[in-house]
Structure 1
Amino acid sequence: VFKRLSEQRKQLGQHELIDQLRSDSMLKREVKQKGGRWNQLGSDIGVRKKTMKSNLVDSMRAALFLKSESKKKILMSQHKTAVQQVQGVFDNLYRTVQFKHTQVSP
């Protein structure tokens, strides 16, 4: 580093070297600030991803719950209709048996 600086000092004048060193330190400072900003942005994105993930999980759970609830309702209604149909069949059988009994008995 010192060799390079001394060579640069020989090539450039003293003022130019100081200017260059200043610009280098400015660049370094700028890079550091940008790095900080990028890190901040990265953590913001990470937080956003986590919240999005948890929101997604919550919404999926809610959807599954609603789906299961609607399935329960559908199954219950299907069960009711099936019971009613079976009951209707038995009622019809009973009626026909009663009717035949009344036909035969007199």
Structure 2
Amino acid sequence: MKKLEEVYKRLQESKKRRRDISKMYKDELSQSARYQEIVDEMAKLREEKKSIENEIKSSSRDYKELDDIKIDIQTDQELLSDIALSMYVEKEQIEIIDEYENKWYPMFKVTFKKE
């Protein structure tokens, strides 16, 4: 258990150092007049791009279907994960073979959350 806490502490220190360096970098960038001009120009272009996209979306019937498909994909991915986890708990073999005969195996990830 000690080793887990040592690695966690080292990870937190590295993240803090990364934040500090990023903050210094952003401060230096904010002092550059040319950089600020480019950032402002990019913001204007982003707004123009977004308005063109919204115009196209509102005139397209397929866009509504795209939203529905996106939700279906998310739901199926969650279902796939739930089934794979259930199979893992029951000690069953977990693999998917696609149409090209490629074998896919699950990859589990552990994350920590503060109480």
**TM-score band, normalised by the shorter chain?**
0.3 to 0.5
Structure whose residues are more often helix by fraction:
1
Larger Rg: 1
TM-score (normalizing by structure 2): 0.31
Q: TM-score, normalization: structure 1?
A: 0.33
